[in-house]
Amino acid sequence: MDNFIFNAYTKIYFGKGMIKNLPEAIEVHGKNVLLVYGGGSIKRNGIYDEVKTLLSECKIIELSGVDPNPRIETVREGVRLCKEHQIDVILAAGGGSVIDCAKVIGAGYYYDGDAWDLVVEPNKITKVLPIVTILTLAATGSEMNKNAVISNMAINEKLGTGSMNMIPQASILDPEYLYTLPAIQTAAGTADIMSHIFENYFKKEEDTFIQNKLAEGLLETCIKYCPIALKEPENYEARANLMWASTLALNGLVGAGKPGSWTCHPIEHELSAFYDITHGIGLAIVTPRWMRHILNEQTVGKFVAYAKNVWHLPEMTDPFAYANAAIDATEEFFKNCGIPMTFSEIGINEEHFEVMAEKAVRIGGLGEAYVPLTKEDVMSILNMCL
């Protein structure tokens, strides 16, 4: 196990009605609040009205319209509002895209240059305005981590950035807020959760028994509860377990002591940069093809463990057959959840494959991945997805 520093200081308010703690979470930081949200779902589900009532003593400035793949233009507008109104704290009400946008806005408040610099060069992030979140989608884990992903569609780039200073101070997680999600968002969100786990589960580091068992348990949780949530949108048990799995999947626990680059996320970021697709859908399409591409004598043992400990498949004498059965189960799970499983279904062709593959390797550091990938490897995986 490699050396690591673990710091997840976010105060989590988990459960029904926990939004009642919002004044406590906000007012410790000040009274001037930037409320960041997306397309207006928080107005339809009542969160917006609750926020306005609970924070009646605060001055609230609003930034709405955050896109599912948040744009740098929205970040820039948020920074402008924060500086103009001397904002004390940012309240992000939404899913990971809204929270990611809020994080970079908070960092941009203390930066004199263009906010895109903070995406390209995370080391330029210093102080960050306090971030508080109200989570409405179980997917990214952004409610309890240091990461953010921002798109610059003008140059077809979607990049991840991060700083320990961007970890939210507090997050409100009420599973009932997930009841009204469209089915495809529940499914894509679960695929995103599982991908976060896969990225850390399939790593070179061998002596990480605890992290591996955490990963396997979280994957089992997704496999058990996503179908239930799809059939019974107001099943509290299913929503609560998916919401908590989302948070634990990427708050640092599963990946602690496991160095190396991720693989499927850098590839999907290039897809989203050109086609603006839903992140979880792109990951669900890419992941089984990546698994098949990297299956070899060195990796088959890990896939056997995955087959046995996550899918609980009957053991086979041929380890490659056993591994492929687990990959088949993964692909079938995503398909049964209603996720399109080919690029052709979502309007993607091979037009940009070469440039996407080159950028994924260069920007994503795929030479340091679980199985190092070249541009040709990535193009092969992309072609498998067609």
Distance separating alpha carbons of residues 252 and 269, to the nearest angstrom: 21
| Ramachandran bin of 156, using left for φ above 0, alpha for ψ from -120 to 50, beta for the remaining angles | left
Cβ-proximal residues to 221 (8 Å cutoff; 6+ apart), any chain: 241, 242, 245
In the CATH scheme, what architecture does the domain 11-177 have? 3-Layer(aba) Sandwich (3.40)
Query: What pLDDT does 206 receive?
Result: 80
For the chain, the structural domain boundaries read: 11-177, 183-384
CATH number for region 183-384: 1.20.1090.10
Looking up tokens 């052709």 gives: 344
Average pLDDT of the chain, as a whole number? 96
Tally of CB atoms within 10 A around 31: 13
The one-letter code for the residue type at 120 is: V
**Does residue 291 have a pLDDT over 90?**
yes
Q: What is the mean pLDDT of residues 153-176?
A: 96
**Does residue 354 have a pLDDT over 90?**
yes
Question: Kindly report the CA angle at 165 between 55 and 113, in degrees rounded to 5?
Answer: 95
Distance separating alpha carbons of residues 50 and 42, to the nearest angstrom: 10
CB 137 within 8 Å of CB 178: yes
Distance separating alpha carbons of residues 222 and 346, to the nearest angstrom: 24
Q: What is the dihedral of CA 334, 338, 342, 348, to 10 degrees?
A: -130
pLDDT, one tens digit per residue, over 58-80 is: 999 999 999 999 999 999 999 99
pLDDT, one tens digit per residue, over 197-239 is: 999 999 988 899 999 999 999 999 999 999 999 999 999 999 9
Do domains 11-177 and 183-384 share one topology? The answer is no
Cβ-proximal residues to 237 (8 Å cutoff; 6+ apart), any chain: 225, 228
